[in-house]
């Protein structure tokens, strides 16, 4: 057997060289700029949603209290007290949404007019809500249907 110098021998063999791993971070500034813009956009959306959530906290609390009043109105022993508390609850809720000087001094017919302006329809002057001023003095006896209608309008 004749070996030629151009034929490879075992001492000339080398391991296969693998390419460098691909970087997982962007290599150009454009991608970094896109990530920064997306991060700012996500931050602004989250901040807006959080502010909206915090601004609506008074509504969530009012709905929780209204549900409690409705539950108490179902019991004859606590019905009068629960019905008397509906109008003050609506007033406190309105004070959370409108300027104090626009809401605080309202009572009786003016209060019902304000509620009608802020409610779709005329359920306070001509519907179940018309009894709110009388409920403050406990002079009205309501049926179960009237109580349910009042709480639906208040909600």
Per residue in 5-35, pLDDT (tens digit) is 566 677 777 788 888 888 888 888 899 999 9
How many C-beta neighbours within 10 Å does residue 146 have?
Answer: 14
Tokens standing for residue 58: 């008074």
How many C-beta neighbours within 10 Å does residue 133 have?
Answer: 16
Rounded to whole angstroms, the Cα distance separating 39 from 46 reads 11
- The angle formed by the CA atoms of residues 139, 141 and 146, to the nearest 5 degrees, is 125
What confidence score (pLDDT) does residue 37 get? Answer: 97
Phi-psi domain of 99 (left: phi exceeds 0; alpha: psi -120 through 50; beta: other): beta
Per residue in 62-115, pLDDT (tens digit) is 999 999 998 988 888 888 888 888 888 888 888 888 888 888 888 777 888 888
Tokens standing for residue 121: 């329809």
What confidence score (pLDDT) does residue 1 get? Answer: 53
């Amino acid at each position: 057997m004749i070996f030629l110098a151009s034929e490879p021998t075992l001492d000339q063999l080398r391991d296969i060289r693998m390419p460098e791993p691909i970087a997982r971070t962007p290599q150009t500034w454009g991608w970094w700029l896109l990530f920064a813009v997306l991060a700012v956009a996500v931050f602004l959306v989250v901040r807006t949603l959080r502010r909206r959530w915090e601004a609506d906290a008074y509504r969530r609390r009012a709905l929780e209290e209204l549900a409690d009043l409705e539950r108490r109105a179902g019991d004859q022993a606590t019905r009068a007290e629960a019905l008397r508390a509906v109008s003050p609850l609506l007033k406190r809720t309105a004070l959370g949404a409108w300027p104090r000087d626009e809401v605080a001094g309202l009572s009786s017919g003016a209060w019902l007019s304000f509620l009608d302006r802020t409610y779709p329809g005329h359920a306070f002057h001509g519907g179940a809500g018309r009894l709110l001023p009388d409920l403050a003095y406990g002079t009205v006896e309501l049926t179960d249907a009237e109580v349910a209608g009042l709480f639906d309008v208040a909600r």
